[in-house]
Amino acid sequence: MKKFLLLGLCAAALTACQPTNTSTEKSEKQGSSVITAYQLNKDNPMEYAVAGQTDDDHLYLEEVLGEQALAKVKGWNERSEPLMQSDVYKAMKKELLEVYNSPEKIPYVSYRAGKAYNFWQDDKHVKGIWRRTSLDSYRTDAPVWETILDIDALAKAEDKNWVYKGTSCLAPDYNLCMVSLSDGGKDAIERREFNVAEQAFVDGGFFLPESKGGTAWIDEDNLLIGVDFGKNTMTDSGYPFIAKLWTRGTPLTAARELMRGEKTDVGVWPGTFENADGKDEIMIVRAVTFYTSEYFWVPQNGDKAFVPVKLPVPLKSNLGSQFKGQQLVTLQEDWPQANGKTFKSGTLVSFSIADFMASGKIDVVNEVISPNARQSIGGFGATKNALLLSLYENVSGSAYAFDFKDGQWTKTKLDFPANGNVSIGGTNSKEDIAFVNTESFLTPDTLWTFDTKTMQSEKAKSLPSWFDSSSMAAEQFFTASSDGTKIPYYVVRDKNMKLDGTNPTLLYGYGGFQISLNPSYSATIGRAWLARGGVYVVANIRGGGEFGPDWHQAGLKAKRQIIFDDFIAVAEDLIAKKITSPKHLGIHGRSNGGLLMGVMFTQRPDLFGAIAIGVPLLDMRRFDKLLAGASWVGEYGDPDDDNADGAYIRALSPYHNIRSGVKYPESYIYTSTKDDRVHPAHARKFAQRLEDMGIPFVYYENIDGGHAGAANLEETAHSQALIYSHFAGKLSGG
């Protein structure tokens, strides 16, 4: 779930039940306004007796491929599918396939040794092709591409549903690569050595069977690996906790251990960094929890035992790239210094990696940038001549170039379109050329090449306007949450829309894992929803990273109700402004956002006319026992603990808070059988509980696709058309 935001869903044409308030209402004064609070389950949670135990007759649904479980899923799918085949669904799918298969999509690239590499999918390349071209050719309207690897042909030859998951290639020529392939879109991948020059897998080369984990090149004969090495080598979260060095020509069993963590860790990942001489050094990350990590430099001592040296950086910090010998570190907590100075959480700092390697200490820390309370760092990347960084203020982005001279960092603001999203794309520390992407809700993506030597940008590619936005507006509003904090949200709508409460409105939220929802152009939302008269709203609630680590940490564990209060406040403000009304307001969220949807379903069913719950977490009493769930205890708390965190998350659990006698909005629940990150049992068990209680719902479980929910563009168009046709039917009667 770390740093993943995903989309995908399904739809139905059942008659919506208008929710009625069956609880005892309570009103509380907030300033001059009166807010009616439903939140039945917030104030009166379901009883829970024994930590970690439930009398659950739905546990069979946790057997991913269990015969009984799949029979139940098949029945739900079959019952739901005929309801999805409306004319609206068919029209939407056709329109979206046109977008997804269009040759006018931007081919985003990584730039290596003078070549631009891209992975491409369309109607002729369903699974996709990995290809490359020259930079000059890429800048033309019709680049000449050389296919390196055809995933469709590979899948056909091997009779496997391969999904391409990227490459890790050896600098400086990037000829030897480890290609990652997933069976049906799972997070667990198979890794094979590939020779780009020969456009073939290396006979007898490095090969790692299906596993979660990672690899990194040291040189052409040595590979760093962190994978499933067999019994007792994986953490409770399902990731490796041992890192090894594997030498070409030796069996995997002979790989030398570099270091190991603990079974209770999230995982251990090996990687590299460059020393002052340009040689790759070994760096290993031990993720103790989801938000605390230890970093170790492992000196290469020939045949001697490896002795890792721990970097003296805060546990809550993230190591980034290097620039001019400076190792970059993003702080997620304050870092006091010996000289009395304290670098605040959210600050980007740096230190000399050479000095650390020489002494094992960090004596001098340099501040790169310290965002204020309304700012956050979006991302950064190093090139030969500049460090490029995106900075967001009130959720709107801009880009800067930084340089390090005479022990000081300097910055220059770059001239890119304002009031939208500016993201740093492909950067390479060995190249001058970088890629920067700009977009907004109503302005299509533009990809720029930026020469960090001349500090000049050039428009490389841009998307066409996939929907007519000339009559539309994107506005930012702020509303007070339950504690008075101002919560920003964006409304995208027709300029001439009447404020009469009848507008079909779709509110999207996530609220977790420090993931920001910045302005972005979506041909899918534009065509399927906005062009049909819908209103689209994005809520920048706490739990995200829109205003840095503090914005995220305000909603951790037992403090999580504030995230839900933020979302409720946005919904209530939309209604107060008469942009919409409960009958016409739908909400959508995926993964952690699926948990948000589940809580809205149980806490505020009166506020919404339809809910889409995607690849969700819903059984919060057992989430840590399912697949990667143990890794998220740092976000949610341990449900087996008797402390406040454990008591809160147990009481919150949407699966355990569905009640009889309450009118719920009809939910559309979707997941993927091959989701090996968030267990499909969350969605299955929630659906079963609804069925037990006679509460209408629609359910769709795609076999392939993993946590993304779709393995190819056809499946993506299908899932997205189901989402928006569901909302069209429920919120507008269309």
pLDDT tens-digit map of 586-626: 999 999 999 999 999 999 999 999 999 999 999 999 999 99
- The mean per-residue pLDDT over the stretch 13-36 comes to 27
DSSP collapsed to 3 states, 115-183:
EEEEEECCCCCCCCEEEEEEHHHHCCCCCCCEEEEEHHHHHHHHCCCEEEEEEEECCCCCCEEEEEEEE
Task: Give pLDDT, residue 287.
Answer: 96
Least confident of 82-96, 134-148, 472-486: 82-96
Residues 230, 240 share a domain: yes
- With a pLDDT cut of 70, the percent of the chain lying above it is 91
Query: Which residue intervals of 577-632 are DSSP H helices?
Result: 592-603
Task: Give pLDDT, residue 268.
Answer: 97
CATH code of the domain in which 485 resides: 3.40.50.1820
Confidence of residue 274 (pLDDT cuts 50, 70, 90): confident
Residues 610, 501 share a domain: yes
> Is 8 within a domain?
no
Q: Are 462 and 436 in contact (CB under 8 A)?
A: no
> Is 5 within a domain?
no
Task: Give pLDDT, residue 11.
Answer: 24
Whether residue 22 is predicted with pLDDT greater than 50 in this model: the reply is no
Answer with the residue of higher pLDDT: 718 or 611.
611
Q: How far apart are CA 721 and CA 88, in angstroms?
A: 8
Confidence of residue 278 (pLDDT cuts 50, 70, 90): confident
Confidence of residue 37 (pLDDT cuts 50, 70, 90): very low
Task: Give pLDDT, residue 290.
Answer: 93
Confidence of residue 217 (pLDDT cuts 50, 70, 90): very high
Which of 270, 285, 310 marks a domain boundary? 310
Task: Give pLDDT, residue 9.
Answer: 24
Task: Give pLDDT, residue 303.
Answer: 77
Confidence of residue 706 (pLDDT cuts 50, 70, 90): low
Residues 174, 244 share a domain: no
Q: Using alpha carbons, select from 549, 582, 597, 621 the residue that is nearest to residue 697.
A: 597
> Is 382 within a domain?
no
Residues 276, 171 share a domain: no
Residues 673, 534 share a domain: yes
> Is 334 within a domain?
no
Task: Give pLDDT, residue 81.
Answer: 79
Residues 650, 535 share a domain: yes
Which of 211, 236, 257 marks a domain boundary? 211
Residues 667, 617 share a domain: yes
- The mean per-residue pLDDT over the stretch 16-35 comes to 27
Q: How far apart are CA 554 and CA 577, in angstroms?
A: 27
Answer with the residue of higher pLDDT: 10 or 579.
579
Which of 292, 310, 328 marks a domain boundary? 310
Task: Give pLDDT, residue 709.
Answer: 55
Residues 194, 144 share a domain: yes
Residues 625, 488 share a domain: yes
Task: Give pLDDT, residue 690.
Answer: 95
- The mean per-residue pLDDT over the stretch 439-455 comes to 96
Q: Are 545 and 5 in contact (CB under 8 A)?
A: no
Residues 172, 82 share a domain: no
Q: Domain range holding 128?
A: 110-211
Answer with the residue of higher pLDDT: 732 or 711.
732
The chain-wide mean pLDDT, for the chain, equals 90
Residues 191, 242 share a domain: no
> Is 372 within a domain?
no
Whether residue 286 is predicted with pLDDT greater than 50 in this model: the reply is yes
Q: Are 569 and 479 in contact (CB under 8 A)?
A: yes
Q: Retrieve residue 420's tokens.
A: 């939208």
> Is 378 within a domain?
no
Task: Give pLDDT, residue 10.
Answer: 28
Characterize 416-436 residue by residue with b for buried, 16 or more Cβ atoms within 10 angstroms of its Cβ, and e for exposed. Answer: beeebbbbbbbbbeebbbbbb
Task: Give pLDDT, residue 89.
Answer: 92
How many folded domains does the chain comprise? 3
207-212, long-range: CB < 8 A, 24+ apart: 208/252, 210/183, 210/186, 211/240, 212/187, 212/188, 212/238, 212/239, 212/240, 212/267, 212/676
Q: Which residues are catalytic?
A: 591, 707
Answer with the residue of higher pLDDT: 447 or 660.
447
> Is 481 within a domain?
yes
Confidence of residue 276 (pLDDT cuts 50, 70, 90): confident
Q: How far apart are CA 454 and CA 413, in angstroms?
A: 14
Residues 91, 73 share a domain: yes
